[in-house]
Structure 1
Amino acid sequence: MRNLKSAAIALAALALSVAPFAAAKAQDFPSRNVTMIVPFAAGGPTDTVARLIAESMSRSLGQQVVVENVGGAGGTRGAGQVAKAAPDGYTILLHHIGQATSATLYRKLPYNVLTDFEEVGLVTDVPMTMIGKSTLEPKDAAALIAYVKEKKDGVIYGNAGVGSASHLCGMLFMSAIGTPMTTVPYQGTGPAMNDLVGGQIDLMCDQTTNTTGQIKAGKVKAYGVTTPNRLKSLPDIPTFKEGALPGFEIAVWHGLYAPKGTPKVTIDKLNAALLTALQDPKVIARFADLGTEPVALERATPEVHEKFLAAEVAKWKPVIEQAGVFAD
């Protein structure tokens, strides 16, 4: 008993001695490079957002924020890596709406979306566009809907993989028109877009950060945007409300995360750098080129992000369950 008591006292003393050291380390953050994990392949829309934010945050933090692409499993591989990383702020995650949908979509998710991360702040809401190969017959959204209903699984819809934004958009579109298409999942947005431009697939719905350039270059045919109002960057493309499909609206938000247990002082420093990035004229201008803009600063706080994520998990749960689309 005496030995157990002595051991307990020793452990308590050790904890007390380590606490000031940990606090000091957090105060010194960052003293080396920070790794920003993007859970998708390089060159995709989320990667584009991450690199713009990382460049600005590097200047604010005084250390390089290095983007590392850890793709696979619909974004869950990269997210899982961050969930298991040391909670010191040196490994962070830039993820999109898939952070919320994965909670229902994956039966064996190796982490808890709501309890294994510290939210740093929301970054941007990216509209989406439904695009087709340049030779696709329908001329507008109403004609496209009629065409899909007629051809059904004769229409080939490509996406960036299970759990990707393009997968979610396609799932909602098929649900909204009550008609299935043949779905081809790719290993990332880049390969899917290449096949769409090349005419191997018929349709794709993806973020404006990835589609705006292709639309303006005339390499694909745009059928509609998934926002209530037309976009400043693509003013000639109608909304789906105009195109006979009211209520078909989806925006792909992006958020920044750190592992659970990351000290508040570290989260605050990361958030301050994020807020600076969202006001950076270069970031704002580049986002505008891509058809999006930073979120309002009041939405970019850890507290708002935490509540928003929980609401998004609850919002998408019945949609995914009704569709019956799950992944292991």
Structure 2
Amino acid sequence: MAVLAAASLLGTPAFADTWPSKPIKAIVPFAPGSATDQIGRAFAAEMAKTLGQPIVVDNKPGVNGMLGAAEVAKAAPDGYTILIGTNSTNAALKSLMKQLPYNQDTAFAPLGYMGSVPLIVAVNNDVPAKNLRELVALAKAKPGNVTFASASTSQLVSTEMLASMAGVQMTNVPYKSGPAAMTDLIGGQVNLFTADFAVMLPQVKGGKVRGLAVTSTKRSPAIPELPTVNEALGLKDYELIAYFAMFAPAGTPPDVVAKLNQAINAAANNKEVQDKFAPIGFVVEPGTPDALAQRTKAETAKWAKAIKDAKIEPQ
């Protein structure tokens, strides 16, 4: 036993020195084409340059990101499997699900925060509401008649929170992916969809759907003509933004965490990455693993309150 213990003590620094010695798998728990996928792939490409090994992106969508997150939670803690996490997987799921296949608070080692994007509230072009006030009036006139799509936690909670704060009732239509929900919004199968800029902005700018408001507390430079939800409805406390961060399985060696954090921050500071995603309202915020741990704690509490206030029952 003593020999084994000594060997494992000696093994960790040597492992960290040679890490990474093979490709790394980055699991994106949402569909190809989603904001998480687009941003995750751009970061992975830059991180591969810093780390000297390819990072292979693997999409595992389903259950608001839970399927992909569960796979990382049970992976070996060796730095070769990482999660492109979001507010869905690492803050909100705990309050949305009665049971998770992992302990959200202890299953992951925080690696680094990537950045955030606001969402756009939009309706199908045939919906007779030219602004958010008119949409609320429509929903008040016929409770439950207005349908809305959701394929992620931020999409679901942002709309339920809006309905709750505006005092209206709308009917949720769940989707497996943001792009699929977008197709149905354009086609008129659903009336409303609140989604990140990556999915929504091109369709709003192309006139395929009608944008009504942004979910941040300030207007976005990417589409300054859209008011915030607070401005549109005369509210004060409405805010919901989607964010992205990377995590590894709990127990990943600290030296490996440090190397991954360095690579994440280098990608966040890369001007090409910043310029590429500025049009979708993406704001980078490099930081330490500890800063991400603190943020995750605060965000978990914030989302628990938002989900409770929106009267969303755990599934």
Regarding TM over 0.5, the answer is yes
Instruction: Name the structure 2 match of 1:181.
Output: 170
Change (3 A) 1:90 1:213: same
1:112 aligns with 2:103: yes
1:59 aligns with 2:46: no
Per the TM alignment, residue 18 of structure 1 is displaced from its structure 2 partner at its CA by: 2.8
Q: Distance in 1 between matches of 2:309 and 2:229?
A: 22
Instruction: Name the structure 2 match of 1:33.
Output: 23
- The two structures have a TM-score, normalised by structure 2, of 0.95
CA contact (8 A) 1:209 1:292 kept: no
CA contact (8 A) 1:58 1:64 kept: yes
Measured against aligned partners, the alpha-carbon deviations of 1:83-104 in whole angstroms (never above 9, x if no partner) come to 1111111100011111201112
* Percentage of pairs with the same residue: 35
Instruction: Name the structure 2 match of 1:242.
Output: 231
Identify the match of residue 261 of structure 1 among 246, 251, 256.
251
Q: Which runs of 5 or more residues in structure 1 are unaligned? A: 1-10
Measured against aligned partners, the alpha-carbon deviations of 1:56-75 in whole angstroms (never above 9, x if no partner) come to 11111111111101111221
Structure having the higher Rg: 1
Count of equivalent residues = 313
Per the TM alignment, residue 182 of structure 1 is displaced from its structure 2 partner at its CA by: 1.4
1:197 aligns with 2:151: no
Per the TM alignment, residue 48 of structure 1 is displaced from its structure 2 partner at its CA by: 1.3
Instruction: Name the structure 1 match of 2:63.
Output: 73
Instruction: Name the structure 1 match of 2:153.
Output: 164
Aligned partner letter, 2:45: E
1:305 aligns with 2:255: no
Per the TM alignment, residue 326 of structure 1 is displaced from its structure 2 partner at its CA by: 3.7
CA contact (8 A) 1:157 1:201 kept: yes
Aligned partner letter, 1:139: K
Measured against aligned partners, the alpha-carbon deviations of 1:251-290 in whole angstroms (never above 9, x if no partner) come to 1111110011111110111011111101111100111122
Per the TM alignment, residue 241 of structure 1 is displaced from its structure 2 partner at its CA by: 2.2
CA contact (8 A) 1:34 1:65 kept: yes
CA contact (8 A) 2:91 2:300 kept: yes
Aligned partner letter, 2:205: K
Instruction: Name the structure 1 match of 2:284.
Output: 294
Aligned partner letter, 1:294: V
Q: Distance in 1 between matches of 2:231 and 2:63?
A: 35
* Root-mean-square deviation (Å): 1.4
Q: Which runs of 5 or more residues in structure 2 are unaligned? A: none
CA contact (8 A) 2:222 2:278 kept: yes
Partner of 1:232, secondary structure, is: coil
Change (3 A) 1:208 1:287: same
1:281 aligns with 2:271: yes
Instruction: Name the structure 1 match of 2:211.
Output: 222
CA contact (8 A) 1:124 1:254 kept: yes
Per the TM alignment, residue 320 of structure 1 is displaced from its structure 2 partner at its CA by: 2.4
